[in-house]
Amino acid sequence: MKEHPPISIILPAFNEQDNLKAMADQLAAVLKDFNYKIVFVDDGSQDDTLHVLKQLREHNPRVHFLSFSRNFGHQSALKAGLDYAQGDCLIFMDCDLQHPPQLIIKMIQLWQKGNEVVYTVRQDGGDIPFLKRKTAALFYRVLNFLSDVPIAQGRADFFLIDRKVANVLKDYDESPLFFRGMLPWVGFKQIGIDYVPGQRFSGATKYSLKRMFEFAVDGITSFSIKPLRISIFCGIFLSLGAFIYLMFIVYVRIFTNHTVSGWASILACVLLLGGIQLVILGIIGEYLGKLFMSAKKRPNYIIREHSGMDR
């Protein structure tokens, strides 16, 4: 154990009372020869998650926990673990056993070879619903088209970072957080490895369709202003088209004996232009909303209780 540098495993937990012990036991078995700490981040759970964590702490001094005052979200839980965890490298993963603990050894080996960020890319099997596979693929295509930072399709919040990378990310004070974009943005020497997700040990996924959509919007608007630029070009294109159509109407009225008639076509144009204007206003509002929230300087999370950890 003395030959291994200290590492910390950070696991966000929201209503995961039935998964915690199994996860802690598997991590202990995989890392038995390492100098490690396990840091659970209770994201305002409504079940007995905090109680189970206290029990795990009593039986295993390597287990630590942070508990939020309310549910602040998965990305905020990752940030809290980043802020409080110690070690020469930090490993982030979910606590439902879909991120295979056995892969940690390979991640550490790649880190010891000089890689400062080791990220994982999810390879879904045939058991994943068709709609979820297609929407996930669409999300990454749109994100990479709009973003200035390339993000590998299937990139997961299961990754390892070196201490120097952690120190850089600790200074981040932005909201909302999006670690899948933050890690490619900071640079450093990075390498990715594929993994096949395991079966969820207990419970159901916390990512509803609504939350996945919000996550996608946060990811797109946090790392690119291309939607605003597209809005500009869209406005120019529509204005040019309207001007050409106006010239056509004037020409028909002056140089011919006909007039351009039809309320239906006019109404269709008005509805089309009005809809596009509302979409553009929504895009602008999304960015203004982010500025408004950032200007308040509110913390990404509030710690209610912890197992004696200091930042």
pLDDT tens per residue, range 87-103: 899 999 988 888 889 99
Average pLDDT on 179-185 reads 82
pLDDT at 215: 66
Q: How confident is the model at residue 17 (pLDDT cuts 50, 70, 90)?
A: confident
Whether residue 264 is predicted with pLDDT greater than 70 in this model: the reply is no
pLDDT at 104: 92
Q: How confident is the model at residue 115 (pLDDT cuts 50, 70, 90)?
A: very high
> Residue 284 falls within a domain, yes or no?
no
Strand order in the sheet with 155-162: 190-195, 117-122, 155-162, 89-92, 7-13, 36-42, 63-68, 303-306
- 251: Cα within 13 Å, side-chain hemisphere: 6
> Residue 279 falls within a domain, yes or no?
no
pLDDT at 1: 44
Q: How confident is the model at residue 289 (pLDDT cuts 50, 70, 90)?
A: confident
Domain of 75: which CATH number?
3.90.550.10
Q: Are 14 and 44 in contact (CB under 8 A)?
A: yes
> Residue 131 falls within a domain, yes or no?
yes
Residues 6+ apart with CB under 8 A from 120: 99, 103, 107, 155, 156, 158, 159, 192, 193, 194, 195
Both tokens of residue 155? 């990139």
Q: How confident is the model at residue 71 (pLDDT cuts 50, 70, 90)?
A: confident
> Residue 275 falls within a domain, yes or no?
no
Is 167 or 216 the better-scoring residue by pLDDT?
A: 167
209-214 long-range contacts, Cβ below 8 Å, gap at least 24?
212/135
In a 10 Å sphere around its CB, with 0-12 CB exposed, 13-18 middle and 19+ buried, how is residue 271 labelled? exposed
Distance CA 163, CA 43 (A): 24
> Residue 174 falls within a domain, yes or no?
yes
Q: How confident is the model at residue 125 (pLDDT cuts 50, 70, 90)?
A: low
In tens, the pLDDT along 129-141 reads 666 666 667 777 7
Least confident of 22-31, 158-167, 185-194, 246-255: 246-255
Per the structure, how many domains does the chain have? Answer: 1
Range of the domain at 203: 7-224+298-306
Output the 3-class SS for 223-290: CCCHHHHHHHHHHHHHHHHHHHHHHHHHHHHHHCCCCCCCHHHHHHHHHHHHHHHHHHHHHHHHHHHH
> Residue 153 falls within a domain, yes or no?
yes
Distance CA 299, CA 76 (A): 9
> Residue 126 falls within a domain, yes or no?
yes
pLDDT at 223: 66
What's at 2, amino acid-wise?
A: K
Whether residue 40 is predicted with pLDDT greater than 90 in this model: the reply is yes
Longest alpha-carbon distance in the chain: 95
> Residue 149 falls within a domain, yes or no?
yes
Least confident of 59-73, 108-122, 150-164, 254-268: 254-268
The CA angle 23-24-26, to the nearest 5 degrees, is 65
Distance CA 205, CA 210 (A): 13
In tens, the pLDDT along 216-258 reads 666 666 666 677 777 777 777 777 777 777 677 777 777 777 7
Mean residue pLDDT of the chain comes to: 80
What's at 75, amino acid-wise?
A: Q
